[in-house]
Amino acid sequence: MTSAFRLKDLFSLLPVLLALCWSAWSLLQNEHLASWSRAGLLIGQLLLELSPLLLAQLLLARPSARAIFWWLWLAAMVLYPLLSIELRPQNSLLLLDQSCWLIALCGSLLYWLEQFYQQKLSPGSNNSWLQKLWSLDTAVALLLTGWVLFMALLLGSHQNPLANQPIPLQVHTDRLLHYPFEFIGYLLQFGLIASLMYGYYWLNRYLLIRRLLAQYGLLPFVLTSLCLLLLSYPLLASLLLCLPINSYEVTTLASGNHNAFDWYNFKFVLGIWLVSTPLILAFDRQQQEKNLAQIQHRQVQTELLLLQQQINPHFLFNTLNNLYALCLVQSDQAPTLILRLADLLRYVVYQGSQPLVTLQQEINYLQDYLALQQLRVSNKTELSLSLPEQADQHLLPPLLLIMLVENAYKHGVESTTEPSKVKIQMQLQGNTLIFICENTVPAQQSFAPAGIGLENLRRRLQLCYGNNYSLSSAATVFGWRAELAIKLEQNPC
């Protein structure tokens, strides 16, 4: 893997940059002579103070990130801000405060949770429980639950809060413990308000968007949505006015009064609709693309398995023909041939269905096959074999190389009684494997037909490597030459 940073790694900096902008603009709110030059100075100082957080995020985003980077992230994201805030002098000029730190920390945690979710739900994974847990419905429910809890804690910390506004943003644990029923009452009432807001979201997503918009188009969707909002908002506002928290002069309605038909109440539900609609459409589009990617991945895996099943019987039939020929002449080599065949079939059954095997396992398989062939044709065929060392450090799909060797024996050895040669070279250049198979061609045969085996090999290479491979097959002075070049994966063991 490359150690260079990718463009997508820069997205990990967004939570810290969000906290930076929030803090800079908050400081400028209290300055009468705010200017872009002053903003530039604040941003520069905050960049310097938040540099450990930015570096930790960037290091953790590396493809080769290790466990040590998580400890560095913990130190930079938790210990460093705590020490900076708690141990700074009273008249310190440092700008990093508690709100800036909490925004960066919460944003970072959400970012890495989302990355974990994306990784676990990549094509080929089977985590339906995680998909249900990390859904848009769950996210909206959690946000509303957090809002309900915050409002209940805030109002429960003050006496008659709605009658004595503005309410200071302070939570008093002692008062919450002394008056727990007030807290529970606020919790239930704001829970009802949140339930109505979630109801608007659910109605918009599952009825208006997925049914009306999908089946009848944009204009019926917009008109029906506006009609439903206009009809429902005064009814729901009237319901909320019956709650005890709305018995004061200032209510929790968007209008702040006791008029259920106030246009501010309509603007509030309209805002929910305007915010939730593009969010739902974007999320559903992303989920649809993920589902299509998973379906495509399953189709590719199924096609790969079918291609391997086509390759395996082709080899098996050739080997059984060899065994049949030796048994007819009662050759002493027949028992050795049967043992070789057992080893080959064992590899095909157990390793052939695996996504990856080591290069050494594939070499052992080729050596068994070559030994098997040479038992029968060694009197007329000269074999030259060159293999690399440390082949157990690289991985590749199984049964890729055997097809080129089978073609060499099928078209250059078995089709003639003349002396023949087979030359096999396998080289490693870094992580790239170069496999060359050459064979002589009988005089009466001027070309080697491609056959189904070579076509299957090309299709497997396309499915496994896309366009990142090279396969050529052509006549040469020696006879026929096939060359394959692929980039191997590193064995983590």
**Residue 274, token pair as written in the block:** 């305007």
CB-side neighbour CA atoms (13 Å) of 54: 12
**pLDDT computed for residue 348 by the predictor:** 77
Least Cα distance to 50 among 7, 19, 90, 6 occurs for 19
Judge whether 20 and 97 are in contact, CB under 8 Å: no
User: How many residues can be counted in the chain?
Assistant: 493
| CA atoms of 485 and 473, how far apart (whole Å) | 12
Task: Name the one residue in this structure whose structure tokens are 């463009």.
Answer: 7
**pLDDT computed for residue 303 by the predictor:** 60
Q: 437 pairs with which residues across the strands?
A: 424, 482
**pLDDT computed for residue 231 by the predictor:** 92
Q: Which CATH architecture has domain 359-490?
A: 2-Layer Sandwich (3.30)
List CB contacts of 283: < 8 A, sequence separation 6 or more. Answer: 136
User: Which alpha helices (DSSP H) does 30-135 contain, by range?
Assistant: 36-49, 51-60, 67-74, 80-86, 98-120, 128-133
In three-state secondary structure terms, 482 is strand
Q: How many CB atoms lie within 10 A of CB 439?
A: 25
**pLDDT computed for residue 2 by the predictor:** 42
In tens digits, the chain (493 residues) has pLDDT values of 344 556 777 888 999 999 999 888 888 887 776 788 888 898 999 999 999 999 999 888 876 666 788 888 999 998 998 888 888 877 778 888 888 888 999 889 888 887 876 676 554 455 555 555 567 888 889 889 989 998 899 888 888 887 777 777 778 888 888 888 999 999 999 999 999 999 989 999 999 998 899 888 889 999 999 999 999 999 999 999 999 988 888 888 888 888 989 999 899 889 889 988 998 998 888 778 777 776 666 666 666 555 555 555 655 676 677 677 778 877 777 787 788 788 877 887 778 778 889 999 999 889 888 887 787 677 788 999 999 988 888 999 888 888 888 888 888 887 777 888 999 999 999 889 999 999 988 877 655 555 566 777 888 888 788 888 999 988 888 888 999 999 998 877 6
| CA atoms of 140 and 145, how far apart (whole Å) | 9
Find the Cα–Cα–Cα–Cα dihedral 224, 229, 231, 236, rounded to 10°. 150
Domain boundaries, the chain: 1-120, 125-330, 359-490
Backbone angles phi, psi at 439, to 5 degrees: -150, 150
**pLDDT computed for residue 222 by the predictor:** 92
Taking phi over 0 as left and psi of -120 to 50 as alpha, with beta for the rest, 256 belongs to left
Least Cα distance to 134 among 298, 275, 287, 10 occurs for 287
| CA atoms of 313 and 56, how far apart (whole Å) | 53
51-55 contacts: CB < 8 A, separation 24 or more?
Answer: 52/76, 52/80, 53/16, 53/77, 53/80, 53/81, 53/104, 53/108, 54/13, 54/16
In three-state secondary structure terms, 432 is strand
**pLDDT computed for residue 476 by the predictor:** 85
Q: 381 pairs with which residues across the strands?
A: 420
| CA atoms of 351 and 360, how far apart (whole Å) | 12
Cis peptide before 278 (omega within 30 of 0): no
The answer to whether the Cα torsion of 241, 243, 246, 251 is positive or negative is: negative
Supply the Cα-derived Rg of the chain in whole angstroms: 35
| CA atoms of 30 and 20, how far apart (whole Å) | 16
| CA atoms of 30 and 83, how far apart (whole Å) | 26
List CB contacts of 419: < 8 A, sequence separation 6 or more. Answer: 380, 381, 382
**pLDDT computed for residue 3 by the predictor:** 45
List C-alpha distances in Å: 117 to 44, 77, 133, 284, 290: 34, 21, 10, 16, 12
Sheet containing 432-439: give its strands across.
381-386, 420-429, 432-439, 480-487, 469-475
pTM of this structure: 0.52
| CA atoms of 470 and 436, how far apart (whole Å) | 12
| CA atoms of 261 and 248, how far apart (whole Å) | 18
Q: 481 pairs with which residues across the strands?
A: 438, 474
| CA atoms of 110 and 295, how far apart (whole Å) | 28
| CA atoms of 96 and 24, how far apart (whole Å) | 10
